[in-house]
Amino acid sequence: MIDLKQLRENPDQFLARLNLRSDYSEPIQQILALDQQQRSIEMNRSQLQARSNEIGKLVGQKMKSGVKADDPEVQTLRDEGNQIKAQLSELEPQEKELKAELEALMLTIPNLPSETTPLGKSEEENVEVKRWGDEYLPTNPDILPHWEIGEKLGILNFERSVKIAQSRFVSLIGAGAALERALIRFMIDRQTAAGYTEISPPFLVNTASLTASGQLPKFAEESFKCDRDDLWLLPTAEVAINSFHRDEVIDADLLPLHYCAYTPCFRREAGSYGRDTRGLIRLHQFDKVELFKFVHPDTSEQEHQALLQNAEAILQALKLPYRAIELCTGDLGFSAIKTYDLEVWLPSAGKYREISSCSNCGDFQARRGNVRFKEAGKKGTQFLHTLNGSGLAVGRTMAAILENYQQPDGTVLVPEALQPYLGREVL
């Protein structure tokens, strides 16, 4: 959530940063007007409440001193007190309604881009910052798309998955299921060795958790909801881990907190019809290993770079060619101030495809989830910073292996780092 005080004090500067994004359209002036109205009512209510308390004390003092209850002075005070109570009974619901309206509007405002985020209007202006693994680019000229080689090997089945569910689901068979499991174990082992604590969270999350992460209200159409229970299928483990410390104050000495989690993820992929209709790139259900950090604001940028390197390390260990790009202001996700995407090479498409998005969200999610920290010897608390990234998307990693390691004879080599987990060298 945005900082209302910052908006109130520097509305022009705030709006200028917001306008660098492509997804901002909410009226700042409406928020400022509601804020002023709500604060005016709050001040009036506080003054009335103070006078009401004062009257109560005066009446008590007079009664103690022997003044009768029907004394005109006591009665005048009581009449004033009753009038104030009537006014308060009108103001309190007005203030509550204004607060709710203001909060609902605030939840629709995206995060402010970092000052170091490249300027740009769309993904066309993203900046490539690194390319790795050119020496591992495949030389096989007849590489089949991963869904075709997977079906030839008998390890992927999309047709029967439609019968079970609908399109954009897949069933993994034999070595396919084993490959997925091996990748998950490999990724988790690498990330825990890098200092992350593994969490296995619930795969269903409540509305408050989705709101805290920034998924709601903006991305409601992207998520699957169980209306009867007010629970949602997890769209990403980021949502669950972000709420792991919701409404808590963390001792600053415990920071940073690094977590990783494997979960299935569920997304409607609304608005993507006609795109990536085949294969493992854009499914309604997919597996992912998520990296998540709660950090001190002073170390936020360094922690972001380290997070990116942790995600890169998986691609490097698997010797999969990739590039890193820095998203421009017009392509940032809703909650992010700065994002790097890792894109793996898919030879059948002849281009790089996203496999991880590593974002620094500043204090945006911490404000929404009320996650703070306290430093010894200092008064008050501060909102910490949150960072997240895929380490990695498992299905897309499988797709990259099936294509980049594909041999002319129709077999697929297993990356050397993965062989101990899978127990075989060839698919």
CB atoms inside a 10 Å sphere around CB 69: 10
Helix (H, G, I), strand (E, B) or coil at 152: helix
**292 near 242, Cβ under 8 Å?**
yes
**260 near 192, Cβ under 8 Å?**
yes
Helix axis angle, 28-64 relative to 11-18, nearest 10°?
140
- Map tokens 């041999």 to a residue: 407
Spatial CA neighbour of 2 closest among 116, 103, 101, 138: 103
Active-site residue set: 267, 282, 354, 357, 396
**Interstrand relation of 231-233 and 204-206 (parallel, antiparallel or unpaired):** antiparallel
**358 near 277, Cβ under 8 Å?**
no
**102 near 291, Cβ under 8 Å?**
no
Spatial CA neighbour of 281 closest among 399, 121, 111, 135: 399
Q: In angstroms, how far is CA 106 from the centroid of its own chain?
A: 17
Neighbouring-strand partners of residue 352? 345
Q: Residue 393 and residue 405: Cα distance in Å, rounded?
A: 18
Spatial CA neighbour of 306 closest among 190, 383, 194, 199: 194
Q: Residue 77 and residue 81: Cα distance in Å, rounded?
A: 6
Q: How many residues in total does the chain contain? A: 427
- Map tokens 């299921």 to a residue: 177
